[in-house]
Chain A
Amino acid sequence: MKSMNVLIVGVGGQGVLLASELLSDAALRAGFDVKKSEVHGMAQRGGSVSSHVRIAGQVRSPLIPAGQAEALMAFEQAEALRWVHFLRADGTAVVNRKRLVPPVALFRTGPGYPDDPLSSVRARSGRVVSIDAEAAARRLGNPRVENTVLLGALSGCLEIPETAWMQAIEARVPAGTIDINREAFRAGAGTAVNGEDA
């Protein structure tokens, strides 16, 4: 079994933790050993949030060593850039085209919000899939399924069968949103297959 290290990053409140739970659950259902790690607490107050998900025959460390993630999934462009050093040189970055400027950047005391984080990520990745997940989610009728769209886009890099994904979605998302989450997943998977930048 090919081992996979996925780093999922975003801003507190965006749904990073639910996305990493869905991925871990799907991987477990597909027969892999899984560990995932994130830190709760201060980071949830609008801070930068990262979740390490490791999938293999046997996983030891719950943390991915720097430069060894096969995939980086970012809910926000600058967060993709903040964490891109975890990605292998030949790794894939799945990046939501959203920009969230932190309040501290407004005071211009430290580094400002980067002009074009996506192209900097592109320069440091093997492959970049950038999508406007919120627009895709809105087209389906619920902007909150943005994270499932991104997971769909990520799924192309992973050896997890679609049935495992669908079972994980059924088990983990709020009742009443199962169908729209399934559609969101497939929409995300479709964009990643159809082209690099949907």
Chain B
Amino acid sequence: MKVLLSGNEAVARGCHESGLHVATAYPGTPSTEILEAIASRYTEIDSEWCPNEKVAFEVAMGASFAGARALTAMKHVGLNVAADPFMSVSLVGAPGGLVVVSADDPGMHSSQNEQDNRLYARFAGYPCLEPSDSQESKDFVGHGLDISVSFDVPVMLRMTTRVCHAQGVVRLGERREYPVKGFQPDPRKFVVLPNHARVQHVWAAERLERLAAFSESSPLNREEPGRRDVGVVTAGISYQYVRETLPEASVFKLGLSYPLPIERIRRFAASVGRLFVVEELEPFIEEQILAAGIPCEGRKWWPRLGEFSPDVVAEGFVRAGVLERGPEPPAPVAVPPRPPVFCPGCPHRGLFVALKKFKALVATDIGCYTLSVYPPIAVGDICVEMGASIGAAVGVAKARGSGKGIVATIGDSTFLHSGMTGLLNAVHDGAGITVIILDNSITAMTGGQHQPGTGKTLSGAAAKPVKLAKICEALGVQRIRVIDPYDLNQTGKVLGEALDSSELSVLITNRPCTLYPPEIRKTILRPPFRVDPDACIGCHTCFKVACPAIGESERRTDKGLSQSRIDPILCTGCSVCSQVCPVQAIVRGPEGSGK
């Protein structure tokens, strides 16, 4: 049977067909849909969201130690969080089978950097599989588990945004069942004391040599003969762009891109005129080929930064002189951008509108609330990675000699992910900063996933919700206040007190996300607001809350200024705009109601 699946859905299907037992993740674009698809479609697999990628990795690792087939999925920067177990388990192995999905984001569609995690595979000495479409995304899960079990090694399945989110036709297969083998105690393997690890390191080095020999014979790497003057070594989505733009070239397609089948590449190189390497981001393949003494051309013609496309790949071949330049495509037209904004009713809007007045130094974090940095709200001075806000704010306070006027803003899910230890440090350090936990009771930016605070698991089952205020109390915070971000006056008052104080304060907002979970819409919607045309003076102050429901109307004031309009379908009735209006022209009730 053939169906249309995204790369992520295909990975989930691959988990099903290859008898996976355990799947774990922390959500992160572009990897999130893998676990969502497993949980909703393949309930025989034990799947769960973990508080962060390190924990997710460790749970999958433990399952593999006990002989289960396991997979953990994360975005590229998530692997930085999980890097400790990722690197260390190299010397232990993965007896039950362990596939680590790294979903990289060339072009940074939804990420803070575009690191190439194939380097991690080489760093740890793991095989790296690079699917180029949905069919391979499904199939490579099974190949990865087979390699993992055969060689007792974790396997990286390296996806990219374009493979994760593109849909393609996939031939489905049946599920194969595998027994869970159980834990076989062996302290010299599973306990990495230095004297054990020294022995295991030798074993891991030998394992890598055996994997290199495997790569030389594996059908995952294949030659597609064509024109002999041009040969291209490529992997992942770049393979599709090469076949699209230079269909007659000889291609050496790598499915297993680490360890490289270097002797096969040497023979391929000898059989073609010029050898090109086409790969997104780092010259990972190219440098290894060059190091083996095989001349090739890659970064000379293609950029090291940004995402590839058929146009980028074609341009490189044109510049290299092996493809004729086609007709110049039409130039894009300048149209106003549509940067993402807070949704109508988003609880973050009121908090940041209130915070803006204080001109505080704000270290923020990773989540929807990072959008506060964009004008017109324009609040947020520092944002680096998940959970960094609190530590960074403490560091700024040290440099300034005081925590007064220094704020860390962090979401509930990010706080549970890696903010708690930062807060513990702030308590221990006696830092007088203000920490604001934006508790919208969901992991919103990635599309509404549950976390330990929401009271539900990935499968929708009930779980005991953890209370953020109690966590903060247990960590030793003395001043904890819950605030309603829809109430600008109260929020402003509490913020003022906290920012003036030289003691550590934690403020927790209490309004839920207006998008997720979808059933929340039934409880949060209140009658919409409208603009009173007799009162609106056209000052556009309401535009400054950056709500998609607010725009210009056709109406003009006596002075010819355009009056505002509120879209009654989009408005959730949160009231923040009505509180900033200087002339009380924004009143509850749909357009056309009242006078």
Contact = CB atoms under 8 A, between A and B. Distances in A.
B561 interface: no
A38 B168 CA distance: 12
A170 B241 CA distance: 34
Given A60-B240, A65-B314, A48 B337 contact: yes
Nearest to A35: B168
A175 interface: no
B560 interface: no
A82 B167 contact: no
A42 B110 contact: yes
B158 interface: no
Contact of A103 (B241, B329, B330, B548): B548
B343 interface: yes
A82 B335 contact: yes
Given A36-B166, A38-B165, A67 B327 contact: yes
Nearest to B241: A61
A90 to B, nearest CB: 12
Nearest to A41: B110
A103 B161 CA distance: 28
Interface in B362-391: 368, 371, 375-376
Contacts of B533: none
B168 A65 contact: no
A41 B30 contact: yes
A45 B337 contact: no
Interface string A58-90: 011111111110000000001101101101010
Interface residues of B, number: 58
Nearest to A76: B338
A81 B337 CA distance: 12
B270 interface: no
B329 A65 contact: yes
A128 B473 CA distance: 63
Interface of B: 2-4, 29-30, 33, 109-110, 133, 161-162, 165-169, 237, 240-241, 243-245, 247, 309-311, 314, 327, 329-343, 368, 371, 375-376, 445-447, 540, 543, 546-548, 550-552
Given A34-B4, A82-B335, 18 more contacts: A12-B338, A28-B4, A34-B169, A37-B165, A39-B110, A40-B110, A42-B110, A42-B340, A45-B343, A46-B548, A59-B168, A60-B241, A62-B166, A63-B309, A84-B333, A102-B336, A103-B551, A106-B552
25 contacts: A11-B338, A12-B340, A33-B169, A39-B110, A41-B30, A44-B340, A44-B447, A45-B371, A48-B337, A60-B244, A61-B309, A63-B162, A63-B309, A64-B310, A67-B330, A68-B329, A85-B330, A85-B331, A103-B341, A104-B336, A104-B375, A105-B336, A111-B334, A113-B336, A120-B333
